[in-house]
Structure 1
Amino acid sequence: MAHTLDPTKALHTWSVFRTMGRFVAPGSAPSGVLTENTSGGGLDLLELPGQLAEHGFASAQLCHFYLPRTESAYLAEVRDAFDTAGVDLECFLVDDGDVLHPDNGEQQQRWLSGWIDVAEQLGAPRVRVPAGDQAPSDETIALSARRLRALAAEHQGIRVITENWKSLLIDADVTQRLFEQLEGEVGLLIDTGNWTGEDKYDQIAAVAGRAECSQVKARESAPGVLDAVDLTRALTVLRDVGYAGRISYVYAGTDDDEWGRLDEMHAIARTVTG
């Protein structure tokens, strides 16, 4: 029997990084992967849910670094903005932190725990944290499992999930080994753009069936031109393995017209999702 993908129009808010003025809040990117930027000029976070709704999005995954403040009163405003706009906050994304750091792993675990507190106050049902940014080995996989399970145990009011991402989860085999040790206490977000080898579709297919959320990236076949073949194939893999979560679009291309490219992604996706 053919499986049907969730038709909800959803996105990962990295897709509107330029629209948000490339804002990265102070203290939100300790690894230096993102450069802190508060110069302004972009869309205010409290206005983002309304813009999402105006562009037809009913669901969003929110990047942690867009939050200029984390006091409870402000988080209540953000939560109310999503509620008022009728946009579901599917997942709060903590885009930094390394629980496997050889010197600061425990400190990074505590830092991530603080952001999970933020996710809970926002009312998000899920929070995605990185599994680790060190090379896979029996030791690093086991340590990641212990620390992720500890975070989940500490925050039982929210579903903690991780992603096939960064230096630890480099392929399906490592991902499966980690999830065997997580024993269902932590979930998976599958990102179709994080693995890039020739067998990437097979790699995605091997683990996507267990995923609860997705991020479906649009690659470019030329500057400003979406690779419709790659996007269609990635979506088809998710459909064929029985993935049951939402399809959250990720536009990370070169065109400043992020909304336009997201609409183009949606049109391509509709050929698969129906």
Structure 2
Amino acid sequence: MAQISPDRIAVSTWSLHRLLGETYPHDLTTSEVGPMQETYGAGEESLLGLPSVLANHGYHRLEIVSFHMRSRDPIYLAELRDQLRIANVRLQTLLIDAGDISHPEHGARDQAWIAGWIEVANELGAENARIIAGKQKPTRDALDRSVKALTALADGNSGSSVRLVTENWFDLLAEPAHVHYLLDKLDGRVGLLGDFGNWGGPDKYSDLKSIFGRAELCHAKASFLDGDLDEADFGACVALAEEAGYKGPYTLIFDSEIPGEWNGLAIERDFIKSFGI
């Protein structure tokens, strides 16, 4: 095709956290949503209003970070789902952004907490729910605790249209061998969301290429310096993903003071399109 399909471009609420302003930090000891904090100021838009704004900017896939949700009340969830439907925006992923199922002491607690958020993903009609595989050092015991917990979460979500995925993130999955070990043990029960920005070092590109053949989703995070896109790094990441056979959507991740959130997202989107994929 001449250019990347718009259906392969998504936006995360993380990229619009200055626009949204408010967050609702998680407390893993309760299923209640925490009190509002103006983490990035008062904000200019609510999460309920975001789908129509997103559509007006030409985006029709959205990922919502769990700490951007002010309520888990069924009425609020139904209203958010309606706003997504009216704006013709697909809820690609609910990013469950806390918990450590690999923790030897708190893993069971966090697993139960995450299960509650998977229920939220189902109520919202999300296509995917991203779970953190764990934050412990990648010992065999920690990896196996994660496999056991992820398997149980997948069992609990059996029959749902929501696909569970995890991410190459934190110490547990800080290198390809551990990602492959986990996914092999899970035998397709849980998928992979590959993130460009979570790994670094001299082997960053070869490491990412090693896992992107298995990725179903991608966080396409780019770096900006004085408002200018780091084209060399971002281009290398997009190229390695395509070379590895990645066929999923690219979720634009922007986190810089300049050139502004919508402008930064447009720069990332247009750069990906320039590949003529």
Deviations 1:230-252 (A, max 9, x none): 11111111111110110111001
Q: Pick from 46, 65, 68: which aligns with 1:66?
A: 68
SS at match of 1:262: helix
- On the 8 A contact 2:193/2:215 being kept in 1, the answer is yes
The equivalences for 1:73-88 within 5 A come to 73-88=75-90
Share of identical aligned residues, percent? 35
6 and 182 in structure 1: CA distance in 2 versus 1, 3 angstrom threshold: farther
Deviations 1:119-177 (A, max 9, x none): 00000121001000001011111110110110011012121110001120001111011
* Amino acid in structure 2 at the alignment position of 1:11: V
1:206 is aligned to 2:210? yes
The total of aligned residue pairs comes to 267
- On the 8 A contact 1:190/1:215 being kept in 2, the answer is yes
- Aligned residue number for residue 195 of structure 1: 199
The equivalences for 1:19-30 within 5 A come to 19-21=19-21, 23-27=22-26
- On the 8 A contact 2:180/2:211 being kept in 1, the answer is yes
* Amino acid in structure 2 at the alignment position of 1:145: V
* Offset of residue 103 of structure 1: 2.0
The CA distance in 1 between the partners of 2:105 and 2:35, in whole Å, is 23
The CA distance in 1 between the partners of 2:215 and 2:26, in whole Å, is 30
* Offset of residue 225 of structure 1: 2.1
Deviations 1:42-61 (A, max 9, x none): 21111010111011101111
- Aligned residue number for residue 41 of structure 1: 42
1:127 is aligned to 2:129? yes
* Amino acid in structure 2 at the alignment position of 1:226: L
TM-score normalised according to structure 1 size: 0.92
Q: Pick from 175, 180, 186: which aligns with 1:171?
A: 175
TM-score normalised according to structure 2 size: 0.91
Q: Pick from 220, 229, 232: which aligns with 1:229?
A: 232
* Offset of residue 7 of structure 1: 4.1
- On the 8 A contact 1:209/1:241 being kept in 2, the answer is yes
The CA distance in 2 between the partners of 1:173 and 1:179, in whole Å, is 10
* Amino acid in structure 2 at the alignment position of 1:77: E
User: For the aligned residues, what is the CA RMSD?
Assistant: 2.0
- Aligned residue number for residue 256 of structure 2: 253
- On the 8 A contact 2:11/2:252 being kept in 1, the answer is yes
- Aligned residue number for residue 96 of structure 1: 98
Give structure 2 stretches of 5+ with no counterpart. none
* Amino acid in structure 1 at the alignment position of 2:172: L
Give structure 1 stretches of 5+ with no counterpart. none
* Offset of residue 29 of structure 1: 7.2
* Offset of residue 224 of structure 1: 2.5
